[in-house]
Structure 1
């Protein structure tokens, strides 16, 4: 093995490279005769330490490595697909994608000095507001019982979930005034809640869900702002309805039992509903005649300006990647990517000049620090500057 490449490789993934060492490293990488086998061995050694590597075929890894080292023309779509990985592999991922960007762009562009203080990724954070106005900060609350409401016990589990346990007397009780709770996540937060009927909801950053502490009557109705993934408990006599309102446009989802994702952020141009299992009916409340029934693998897009609903087959993995711990983008532009980064890292985004027209295609762990993630873009000529919690994009 080339000991110099081995040294530079370790310096790079440890983020200890000097500018001269970094330039030398990328220069050696462009010489396939010098770098190919050595880099292959180094990547093998690193991935062999990860459990996830055992599920990945050696032949596939070889094809990816060959693509990294190949000198292709710069593509219109930046394809950054890589192995499934965990947070401990973040440094290797950044290295590998950086090499890909470098070899396809044909020039080594220096990484901008970003910030002295690392901006960490988001985590489980949420606030529960009870019907009586009591506010509970869930990430600062101990595990166990956190509140009681009219025969309902609310518990926080050790793995960061909110669970409702309903007594038999509360279940059989009738009321004309349902007790409404609200769970809200800040920018940089996410949370999972098990609703009173057993439905599971994963709430993304900068989102909120209003729901009754107990579902009475002939339907189960909740209201969503932001993004959430639902696994709805089947109940043939009580349809589950999700209402979302974005910039005055109201959408309602009706379902008996299914798995689906709703993206309804106010800074997006449309409300997107993606179905993984079952069947849902998507309706625009502004136009009662506009509704679509989705099949698994389909996504509806309700345009905020026109109220029109369009349905298309999509990659459902992209829609729910956030729930599984990833950012995933299939031919996404820079503004749409940075909107997600803003929510997860709790930052504000400012563009200096017109955003680049490049489209990006990649999947990457949400557990990276912001600096690690930005290195991937900077090696492709998109530069950034961090001032406090403001990210300035110099595209």
Structure 2
């Protein structure tokens, strides 16, 4: 069983659902031959592709007590050809050119890079587009009520918010690169803002309408149910491309990539997504749990997805699913507040897996190094991706 191409083929068939039971047994027999003897896979394990990938990740992590543990044999042989620094099974499951992100929080990584700390809770607040208040020392989040206060109960003291009409006042909360923030609106709805994001909302909702505007970036919403005179009041999230309507649910909106479009993913309940371009035949779609829409110049497209990868940022993780190097580094740019330049023309490397967001930049960049990506970090925050050298020895 030394033909890795055969097992890439089986892995691909497993992931697209065309694999037979006989082929599953063939694949798992090969898998068992390439993991520690202590790991036992029950027969039922073959029926759960998601659990298989998680078991594989656990095995890879267990074998990587340190990224420099001197592994030999299969790993070293594959590294020359595929430039991976994980177990052989990783490449079988994900295919050539794909790498599982597996960095232990306790692993010590020694590089020549200057440490760049991960992002943290910080944001900027303004009222009616007026002067800006720096909230970076303001704890975990902000609560919008009769008085503005932080989640720990400390009142936000600012003359900007004194003696103003709550219902006619609009507040803008923005996070910089390297920042994220949490917000509770006047109706009890909670919002998580990712890095380099901005949201505009009324200081106080009126009785018959709840509407906020996602100006840029990404936000997760946990919408509070709200009624007025016995009638449920909808909650709206708008931007230039779409309008989302909900009553009480949890969902994520990602507006980072204008070329891709606005990505809305439902974690709980249901939402209605309506494109602002009336020329589309299917301009409005209803999404239930595990559904997603992408709204762009081509129209509105609906998908069935696993919500976890799209919500991982809120839980403190990067989660990449066959992401190219540009997608990975765009996430790093926002979170570590770095600038990336490319000397490479193109790259076929694909990355899959989770990485904690609380690691420093040198540890995050180690995944690129294990994949054979060459880079330089200058002046602390200027990262240059170099052309790969010829085959490693």
The change in CA–CA distance for 1:367 and 1:217 in structure 2 (over 3 A counts) is same
Is 1:295 matched with 2:315? no
> Which residue of 2 is the match for residue 78 of structure 1?
98
- Structure 2 CA distance for aligned equivalents of residues 240 and 58 of structure 1: 40
- Structure 2 CA distance for aligned equivalents of residues 130 and 267 of structure 1: 27
> Which residue of 2 is the match for residue 222 of structure 1?
212
The change in CA–CA distance for 1:132 and 1:369 in structure 2 (over 3 A counts) is closer
> Which residue of 2 is the match for residue 157 of structure 1?
151
Q: Secondary structure at the match of 2:368?
A: helix
Alpha carbons 1:160, 1:191 under 8 Å: kept: no
The change in CA–CA distance for 1:144 and 1:318 in structure 2 (over 3 A counts) is closer
**How do 1:374-393 and structure 2 match up within 5 A?**
374-388=365-379, 389-393=381-385
Residue 141 of structure 1 and its aligned partner are, at CA, apart by: 4.7
- The CA RMSD over aligned residues, in Å, is 3.6
- Structure 1 CA distance for aligned equivalents of residues 192 and 268 of structure 2: 16
Residue 157 of structure 1 and its aligned partner are, at CA, apart by: 2.5
Alpha carbons 1:124, 1:160 under 8 Å: kept: no
Alpha carbons 2:91, 2:98 under 8 Å: kept: no
The change in CA–CA distance for 1:160 and 1:262 in structure 2 (over 3 A counts) is farther
**How do 1:213-292 and structure 2 match up within 5 A?**
213-224=203-214, 225-235=216-226, 237-245=232-240, 250-265=241-256, 268-287=259-278, 290-292=283-285
- Structure 2 CA distance for aligned equivalents of residues 59 and 73 of structure 1: 11
Say which of 311, 315, 330 aligns to 1:320. Answer: 311
Q: TM-score under structure 1 normalisation?
A: 0.67
Q: Secondary structure at the match of 1:287?
A: coil
Alpha carbons 1:220, 1:239 under 8 Å: kept: yes
Alpha carbons 1:275, 1:297 under 8 Å: kept: yes
Say which of 179, 189, 192 aligns to 1:202. Answer: 192
- Structure 1 CA distance for aligned equivalents of residues 90 and 314 of structure 2: 34
- Structure 1 CA distance for aligned equivalents of residues 155 and 268 of structure 2: 23
The change in CA–CA distance for 1:213 and 1:234 in structure 2 (over 3 A counts) is same
- Structure 2 CA distance for aligned equivalents of residues 362 and 203 of structure 1: 22
Is 1:181 matched with 2:171? yes
Q: Secondary structure at the match of 1:140?
A: coil
- Structure 1 CA distance for aligned equivalents of residues 202 and 300 of structure 2: 29
Q: TM-score under structure 2 normalisation?
A: 0.67
- Structure 1 CA distance for aligned equivalents of residues 141 and 343 of structure 2: 48
The change in CA–CA distance for 1:90 and 1:211 in structure 2 (over 3 A counts) is same
Residue 391 of structure 1 and its aligned partner are, at CA, apart by: 1.4
Which runs of 5 or more structure 1 residues have no equivalent in the other structure? Answer: 1-35, 41-56, 96-110, 163-169
- Structure 2 CA distance for aligned equivalents of residues 77 and 159 of structure 1: 50
- Structure 2 CA distance for aligned equivalents of residues 60 and 382 of structure 1: 21
Residue 135 of structure 1 and its aligned partner are, at CA, apart by: 2.0
- Structure 2 CA distance for aligned equivalents of residues 243 and 392 of structure 1: 36
Residue 394 of structure 1 and its aligned partner are, at CA, apart by: 1.9
Residue 139 of structure 1 and its aligned partner are, at CA, apart by: 1.4
